[in-house]
Structures are given as structure tokens and as C-alpha cells.
């Protein structure tokens, strides 16, 4: 069976072009699809907190009875602030703790404190599992007497004191938990406990990277692979049609005799006893300028023959 080569060539080029278009479309899809997707989630690794529940003992119970818990206590009648500090963590963990009482005495110089005496007393320390509680007392009467002694001993009657409790909790694998509970006295003479409650959560950021795929003829191709393979296949199948078009592209030949066309006439090459063959269009041009005779174009022979007759001499240039 005789095969039509031209039809087979055209069919092959058509298939190749179709596949090039197909892989070109899939290349666009591959580049439009992110290579991977990042999912970010947050989880609480652990939580912990400490709080001081407190009440006061008063030197005068006309208004407040002993054991009353208030946000603000009158400094003039408050003998002591008593409470229980409790720490807990979830999930439960084992560690160690230390609680210290600080009483510092100072005077202000240019709005900066100059400390006269610093006292630090350990209230409690030890190990715990999950939680612990410790009784705490701020003896305001004792602290007031010590402040009076400092003022008289230094002759600095503008001296003040700062009183606070520090809690330090150490658990392996975690950052230390610290809390400062300070006795504050405002201009009205009311006492309060600043920082009596503290909560902390350790939040962890989790990132999950999923590599996306591109569907191709019922299968899945990884996005990173698709971005490499699909464009390469598109170029591979596009090469034959492009090569064929390029090879068949008509290139208009350069007319070497363009300057002489207006002097050329159609006819039969003249006869002569002497024939001179010219090699180049430039030779034909020089002869034409010398003899000033018309150029005869004869296309009946093999190739195009351009002739100039000068008497019995004929000059011929054959353009193949």
C-alpha cells in the first residue's frame, strides 16, 4: 500500500502541534498553581498562673472587720495584709519554687531613688508537682515602725519604703515563671496589691507545608515537577512544526540586476561571431556602460541569459 508522504508529514506535524498546545496549557496551569501550601496553626503548649487571695487585719474595726478582703485598704488602720499565694500549671508538671519578701528604703534625688537599706527575706521554697500554695503576710505595722527607725537613724524624714513579694518557679524545659506582687500606697493613703494575679500561656506556632499537585490525564504530578516537565515537553513538540514552517518560509531572492532592469528588453539572444561570457552582474553592468547598447533577456534557455551585442561580439551573462 502506497503511503502519501505529504499527508503523513502533515498529520505528524498536526499531532506534534496539538501536543505542544496541550503541554503549553498544562504549563500555564502548573505555574498558576502554587508549588506548596503553608498551613499555620497555633496550640497551647501549657498554661500557668499565680494568684494571691488576701484579707486585712485592722487596728480599728468600726468600719471593717478583721478578715475583710478589699481592693483598697486604709493605710491608717491596716495592721497586716494576710493571704495565701497559689500557683498551678496545666498540664501538670514538677519543678521548684522560691518566694521572697523585699523591703527597700530610699529617698528620691532628682526623681531617682537612692536606696538606704534593702532587705530580702525568703518566705518559702521547695519542690512541687502540679501546684503549690504558701501563706503570705505583709506586716504593715512592723514595716511602718522600721521606716520610722530608718528616718530617725538617717535624719531623712522624707525616706519611703517599697515592699513587694517575688515568686520564681522553675520547671525543666520551660522559661522561668516570675511574678512580682507589690504593696502600693496612693496619695489618698489607700493600700493595694499590684500584680496579685498573673496568667501565662505558652503558644506554639505549627507550620505544615503541603506540596500541591497538578492533574494530568487522570494522574497527579507534583507542582515542582510539572513546572519543569510540561514546558520542556511543549517546546519539544513545538520544534517540528516550527522547523517545518521555518524551512518552507519563502525568502525573496535579492535581485542582483535591479539597477539594470529599466534597460533590459525581452527577446532572443543575438547572434555573433564572437561570444564573451560574463561572470558577474557587475561585469554585465560595466559592459553596458561601455557599449551603451540594450540588454536582451532570453528566458528560453536553461537559466536566464542576458546579452549585449556590440557588432559581431556578443557579451552574455547567464543567471542560474
196 and 51 in contact (C-beta within 8 Å)? yes
C-alpha cell at 27: 504549563
Interval 248-261: pLDDT, tens: 665 556 778 888 88
Beta bridge partners, 164, equal 102, 182
Going by the DSSP 8-state scheme, the letter that residue 175 receives in this structure is P
pTM confidence score: 0.61
d(CA 18, CA 267): 52
pLDDT band, very low/low/confident/very high, at 2 (cuts 50, 70, 90): very low
Least confident piece of the model among 73-77, 153-157, 181-185, 239-243: 239-243
Render 192-218 in DSSP notation, one character per residue: EEET-EEEEEEEEEEEEEEE-EEEETT
Interval 126-147: pLDDT, tens: 999 999 999 999 999 999 999 9
- Tell me what the mean pLDDT of segment 177-192 comes to: 95
- Tell me what the mean pLDDT of segment 22-30 comes to: 87
Going by the DSSP 8-state scheme, the letter that residue 68 receives in this structure is B
Length in residues, the chain: 320
Within its chain, how far is the Cα of 17 from the centroid? Answer: 39
Sheet-wide strand order for 36-58: 73-74, 190-194, 177-185, 160-170, 94-109, 112-129, 131-139, 78-90, 36-58, 197-211
pLDDT band, very low/low/confident/very high, at 26 (cuts 50, 70, 90): confident
Interval 206-233: pLDDT, tens: 999 998 888 887 888 888 888 888 888 8
E strand map for the chain: 36-58, 73-74, 78-90, 94-109, 112-129, 131-139, 160-170, 177-185, 190-194, 197-211, 213-216, 219-222, 264-266, 274-278, 295-298, 304-310, 313-319
> Cell 522547523 maps to which residue?
243
C-alpha cell at 219: 494522574
Interval 31-57: pLDDT, tens: 888 888 889 999 999 999 999 999 999
d(CA 291, CA 278): 14
Position 1 scores a pLDDT of 47
Position 51 scores a pLDDT of 98
Residues of the chain with pLDDT > 70, as a percent, come to 96
d(CA 284, CA 260): 9
Position 77 scores a pLDDT of 96
Interval 234-291: pLDDT, tens: 888 888 888 877 776 655 567 788 888 888 888 888 888 888 888 888 888 888 888 8
Amino acid at each position: 500500500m502506497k503511503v502519501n508522504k505529504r499527508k503523513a508529514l502533515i498529520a505528524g506535524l498536526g499531532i506534534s502541534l496539538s501536543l505542544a498546545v496541550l503541554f503549553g496549557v498544562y504549563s500555564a496551569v502548573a505555574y498558576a498553581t502554587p508549588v506548596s501550601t503553608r498551613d499555620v496553626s497555633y496550640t497551647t503548649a501549657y498554661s500557668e498562673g499565680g494568684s494571691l487571695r488576701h484579707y486585712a487585719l485592722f487596728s480599728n474595726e468600726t468600719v471593717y472587720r478583721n478578715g475583710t478582703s478589699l481592693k483598697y485598704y486604709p493605710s491608717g488602720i491596716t495592721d497586716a495584709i494576710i493571704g495565701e499565694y497559689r500557683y498551678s500549671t496545666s498540664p501538670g508538671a514538677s519543678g521548684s519554687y522560691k518566694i521572697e519578701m523585699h523591703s527597700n528604703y530610699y529617698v528620691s534625688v532628682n526623681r531617682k531613688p537612692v536606696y538606704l537599706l534593702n532587705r530580702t527575706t525568703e518566705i518559702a521554697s521547695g519542690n512541687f508537682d502540679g501546684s503549690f500554695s504558701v501563706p503570705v503576710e505583709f506586716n504593715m505595722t512592723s514595716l511602718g515602725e522600721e521606716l520610722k527607725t530608718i528616718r530617725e537613724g538617717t535624719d531623712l524624714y522624707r525616706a519611703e519604703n517599697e515592699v513587694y513579694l517575688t515568686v520564681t518557679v522553675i520547671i525543666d524545659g520551660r522559661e522561668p515563671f516570675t511574678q512580682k506582687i507589690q504593696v502600693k500606697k496612693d496619695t489618698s493613703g489607700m493600700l493595694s496589691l499590684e500584680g496579685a494575679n498573673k496568667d501565662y500561656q505558652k503558644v506554639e506556632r505549627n507550620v505544615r507545608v503541603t506540596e500541591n499537585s497538578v492533574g494530568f490525564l487522570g494522574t497527579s504530578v507534583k507542582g515542582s515537577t510539572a513546572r519543569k516537565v510540561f514546558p520542556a515537553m511543549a517546546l519539544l513538540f513545538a520544534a517540528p512544526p516550527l522547523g517545518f514552517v521555518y524551512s518552507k518560509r519563502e525568502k525573496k531572492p535579492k535581485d542582483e540586476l535591479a539597477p539594470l532592469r529599466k534597460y533590459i528588453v525581452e527577446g532572443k539572444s543575438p547572434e555573433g561571431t564572437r561570444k564573451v561570457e560574463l561572470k558577474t552582474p557587475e561585469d554585465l553592468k560595466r559592459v553596458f556602460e561601455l557599449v551603451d547598447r540594450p540588454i536582451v533577456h532570453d528566458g528560453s534557455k536553461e537559466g536566464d541569459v542576458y546579452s549585449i551585442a556590440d557588432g559581431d561580439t556578443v557579451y552574455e551573462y547567464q543567471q542560474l
